[in-house]
Chain A
Amino acid sequence: MAARNFFKADLRELEFALLEQFQVEDLFGKAPYAAMTREDVKMILQEAHTFVSDVVGPTLQESDREGCQIAPNGKVTVPACLKPAWKAYFENGWNGLALPESRGGQSAPHLLDMAVLEMFTAANAAFAMYPGLTSGAAEVIARMGSPEQKKLFLPPMDTGRWAGTMLLTEAQAGSDVGLNAAKAVKNPDGSYSLTGTKIFISGGDQDLTENIIHLALARVEGAPKGTKGLSLFIVPKILVNPDGSLGAPNDVVCTGIEHKMGIHASATCTLSFGEKGKCVGYMVGGEPKAGVEPGAGMRKMFTMMNLARIGVGVQSLGVASTAYLNALEYARTRRQGAHLRKGRPPEGAVPIIQHPDVRRMLLEMKSQVEGCRALIYHAIRLQDQANIAAQTDPAKGEELLDYVGLFIPLVKAYVSDTALAVASTAMQVYGGAGYTRDYPAEQYMRDARIFPIYEGTNGIQAMDLVGRKLAQNGGALVGRFGEEAGSFAAKLKEQSAWNTEAGLLTRAVESYKKVVGDYMAFFTQDKMELIPLTGTRFLNLMAKIAIANLLLQGARLAEEKLAKTDPESRDGMFYRGKIASARFFTRNILPQAVAEAEIISSGDPTALDIPDGGFSTAW
């Protein structure tokens, strides 16, 4: 029996986001981005959709059921159906959309790349991790590697012959990466001997590629404690000769794989290196130059995390989107119950999309999915603009990049939390059928559950927001955010049709500004614990304001287009849907942000004051 294919994407919505609202065309032809056209965008979306649908979609359930296996010798096998998908992915060049031309890519803006990535992750999030991690590792080498390292490692990684991973986490060093204990000792030839054990390594071993290039954090003998003393090493699974051919296996062993709730097709490995004292690694970028403190590379690597965290946002979005679209299809075909006013149709029951509570769920999902997409596209577009600005005006590039940084925790945390909620609501639309393995909702929920956890837990994201970004540049970033939302709300007030929404947005922005002031007060009144205590609430508050703002901007655009479109046509329906998303979000979801703000401002210390023993009877 042919594998079932649940992949769904709304190409009209992707076109709207890219071409109408976020105007990817503005970025084309501005270095470092290639000259492309509107037609290119449409064709790339269309053909990527065909590819994902034909090649990746059918692997979703099959690869989940089969999972990954580890042999006694430590060799890991991934689900068989992923192998042709991996091969086709690279053969058809889909990894190369945003790669520079010098690496065989198309130099497209990341904005376009993210739209394509969203489809891959919607089709099979676990599969999409392998190429995603490979391009992430390659990007680190491209930015920070020595010329020799780039020449040796990038071509096989860019063509899918080798894969890449990131080795950060250790049993005692998760969120607290500075506790890393892996050790590196310099060899006479300039390489290092590494010893240590890394856990939770996605793609740490697999049988998709002949070699794997691990990027491992380790502490050089004598380096200071904490993150400062950490360096990054290239540790090939199979050693690579200077001519690029494969040498002897390195002393890296996979000692186990995790048995997880979801993303079963992604091999999550424990890697032990240097058990025989023979694990060779090379410092990324070669030896630090005189005057540069050891471990300076670490800080550079953190700037890479922007893209990785946006990547998790996109992953979350992809799963949320396909979960919604599957639930929508079910709601249109499943018949149950009578219409509240019209009673029962001749078929006996109405499609459940006619029931008010089901419509509530559908529009909640639709507006959240579109809102998250807008939030991500906004951030990634700023990042692309920063990259363009950096070519001619580095200071301007830095300024834009700082502002992108403000959105990173929102993109990672809000979108991943929301994706899980959307997947859960999608299951609810199915009723009991959704809880079975006959439908994809249960897998979407299982797969999506990791997104709020990895790549910096959402708690860590909230800390990043209130601990670093809030006060960054003297509070200028949060100030700019408030000003932008406030001035849009003021402009929206001039539109009588949007009076209600303008009022709700204004109110939310005011409570946001009040909270920013309250945070200052918490600090001066020696109540600083209240800041991390309420960080997640503040993150949600900001994300909901940003999303309402962006959805309303999109709705105004849709309204202009609708005026020139037959409202009963497909385009007409689409634009009416965009307007409904914005209204629903602003009226039904944004007010929750105001409630969050009131909770923050109340300065409730209960969770701090409760004695530890009060949490449990075991004390």
Chain B
Amino acid sequence: MKILVPVKQVMDVELNVRVAAGKVVEDGMTLVLSKWDENALEAAVQLKEAGTASEVVVVTVGPESAGETLRKAMAMGADRAVHVLDPAADGSDSLGVARVLAALGAKEKPDLILAGLQAQDTDMGGVGPMTAELMGIPCLSNVTKIEGTGPTLTIHRRGDQGREVIAVTLPALITANDSLNQPRLASLKGIMMAKKKPMDTLTLENLGAAGVAGAAHALTQIAEFQPPAARAAGRKFTGEPEVIAKEVFDLLVKEAKLVG
């Protein structure tokens, strides 16, 4: 079984993200591997360790710096990496990235695509399902457990009505919930070995995907970023408990509209 893991490099959201003139200030921000992608990668590496998968290929569509994220993924256990590095892909929306991944999917022919549920920066959750749709393969999102060795896998996912257990025949695309596993930490050996693993750099043209991605082909656009509104100051109630309770209840109903 060959597994393709698409990953995204995002800003470390634990740092203070600043917004200026409608844009996120990227300068000096630490860039990291999006956390749901770590779950997807961990699942892939576990399948490889169990002997179910034969190869784990990690891919990203992103700028030069995204190469670091691919190396981190290889340090965690991916066998090789593909970096789609093309200025023409800049400004892609979810659909643009999905089109590029679908083109790569046609080339790599993975049995399984393991993606993160959503990216840690935009929380869109669009790329995985769109890629599956474009490739014409089943998509199982929000997956919490993977069982079996293929060609049919048993998948547990969190759905509207609770846990759903679904049998799926490969090829398929799965997006990982963060309860799927506990991603491993990169070992020092893994870090040093990662740079010896193969990394291919491709352009959109190499993939036969020229003219499908990038700002010009995006169907959605981010007009501007705004910092979250500062939390309003809290209010302290004093007095007799019976009086306060009624006061708080009224506010919850009238102002917060939590009840009724």
Cβ of A93 and Cβ of B28 under 8 Å apart?
no
Cβ of A93 and Cβ of B187 under 8 Å apart?
yes
Shortest beta-carbon distance from B144 to chain A in Å: 21
Cβ of A44 and Cβ of B191 under 8 Å apart?
yes
**B189 touches which of A39, A55, A93, A574 (Cβ 8 Å):** A93
Shortest beta-carbon distance from B23 to chain A in Å: 13
Q: Which of B41-49, B67-75, B158-166, B237-245 contacts A (4 or more CB under 8 A)?
A: B67-75
Distance in angstroms between the alpha carbons of A44 and B193 in the assembled complex: 12
Shortest beta-carbon distance from A117 to chain B in Å: 13
Interface residues of A in 349-399 (CB under 8 A from B): none
Cβ of A44 and Cβ of B185 under 8 Å apart?
no
Q: Which of A61-69, A519-527, A564-572 contacts B (4 or more CB under 8 A)?
A: A564-572
Taking residues whose C-beta sits less than 8 angstroms from the other chain, chain A's interface range is 20 to 34
Interface residues of A in 526-572 (CB under 8 A from B): 566, 569-571
Cβ of B188 and Cβ of A96 under 8 Å apart?
yes
Interface residues of B in 71-102 (CB under 8 A from A): 71-72, 75
Distance in angstroms between the alpha carbons of A47 and B68 in the assembled complex: 12
How many inter-chain residue pairs (CB < 8 Å) link A and B?
57
B30 within 8 A of A: yes
Interface residues of B in 16-67 (CB under 8 A from A): 25, 27-30
A91 within 8 A of B: yes
Taking CB atoms, residues of chain B closer than 8 Å to A51 are 185-186
Cβ of B27 and Cβ of A92 under 8 Å apart?
no
Cβ of B185 and Cβ of A92 under 8 Å apart?
yes
Taking CB atoms, residues of chain B closer than 8 Å to A574 are 28
A94 (CB) vs chain B CBs: closest residue: B188
Cβ of B187 and Cβ of A97 under 8 Å apart?
no
A92 (CB) vs chain B CBs: closest residue: B187
Cβ of B28 and Cβ of A92 under 8 Å apart?
no
Cβ of B185 and Cβ of A571 under 8 Å apart?
no
A301 within 8 A of B: no
Taking CB atoms, residues of chain B closer than 8 Å to A595 are none
Taking CB atoms, residues of chain A closer than 8 Å to B189 are 93, 96, 106
Taking CB atoms, residues of chain A closer than 8 Å to B187 are 91-93
Cβ of A11 and Cβ of B192 under 8 Å apart?
no
Shortest beta-carbon distance from B84 to chain A in Å: 20
Interface residues of A in 476-521 (CB under 8 A from B): none
Of B27, B28, B72, B188, most buried by chain A (CB within 10 Å of CB) is B188
Distance in angstroms between the alpha carbons of A40 and B189 in the assembled complex: 12
Shortest beta-carbon distance from A525 to chain B in Å: 57
Cβ of A43 and Cβ of B71 under 8 Å apart?
yes
Taking CB atoms, residues of chain A closer than 8 Å to B75 are 43, 47
Taking CB atoms, residues of chain B closer than 8 Å to A91 are 187
Taking CB atoms, residues of chain A closer than 8 Å to B254 are none
A308 within 8 A of B: no
* Contact bitstring B218-260, A, C-beta under 8 A = 1, else 0: 0000000000000001000000000000000000000000000
Distance in angstroms between the alpha carbons of A570 and B75 in the assembled complex: 28
Known: A43-B71, A570-B27. A54 touches B185 (CB 8 A): yes
**A50 touches which of B28, B185, B188, B192 (Cβ 8 Å):** B185
Cβ of A40 and Cβ of B192 under 8 Å apart?
yes
12 A-B pairs within 8 Å (CB atoms) are namely: A11-B30, A39-B68, A40-B191, A40-B192, A40-B195, A43-B191, A46-B30, A55-B185, A88-B185, A106-B188, A570-B27, A571-B28
